[in-house]
Amino acid sequence: MTLSTDILTTPTPAARLLAQGRLVAFPTETVYGLGGNALSDAAVAAIYAAKGRPRFNPLIIHLADIAQISRFAHLTDAAAILAQAFWPGPLTLVLPLAADHGLSPLVTAGLDTVAVRIPDLPLARDLLRLTDLPIAAPSANPSGRVSPTTAQHVLDGLSGKIDAVLDGGPCGVGLESTIVGFDPVPTLLRPGGLPTQAIERALGYPLALPDTGAKITAPGQLTSHYAPLGTVRLNAQSARPGETLLGFGAVKADLNLSPGGDLAQAAANLFRHLRTLDAQGARKIAVSPIPDTGLGQAINDRLRRAAAPRG
At 244-299, the pLDDT tens digits run 999 999 999 999 999 999 999 999 999 999 999 999 999 999 999 999 999 999 99
CATH at residue 12 = 3.90.870.10
- pLDDT of res. 222: 62
One domain for residues 122 and 260: no
1 pLDDT higher than 70: no
One domain for residues 136 and 97: yes
Q: Is residue 268 in some structural domain? A: yes
What lies within 8 Å, CB to CB, of 269 at 6+ separation is 174, 257, 258
Across 301-309, average pLDDT: 90
- pLDDT of res. 3: 74
Per-residue pLDDT band for 125 (boundaries 50, 70, 90) equals very high
One domain for residues 106 and 148: yes
- pLDDT of res. 83: 98
Question: 300 lies in which domain range?
Answer: 231-307
One domain for residues 182 and 50: yes
- pLDDT of res. 55: 78
Q: Is residue 165 in some structural domain? A: yes
One domain for residues 236 and 275: yes
One domain for residues 145 and 249: no
One domain for residues 199 and 235: no
One domain for residues 146 and 252: no
One domain for residues 250 and 155: no
One domain for residues 178 and 273: no
In the chain, the number of structural domains is 2
Q: Is residue 72 in some structural domain? A: yes
Q: How many CB atoms lie within 10 A of CB 170?
A: 14
Q: What mean pLDDT value characterizes the chain?
A: 93
- pLDDT of res. 144: 84
- pLDDT of res. 88: 98
Q: How many CA atoms lie within 13 A of 285 on its CB side?
A: 28
Residues 296, 266: Cα–Cα separation, whole Å = 8
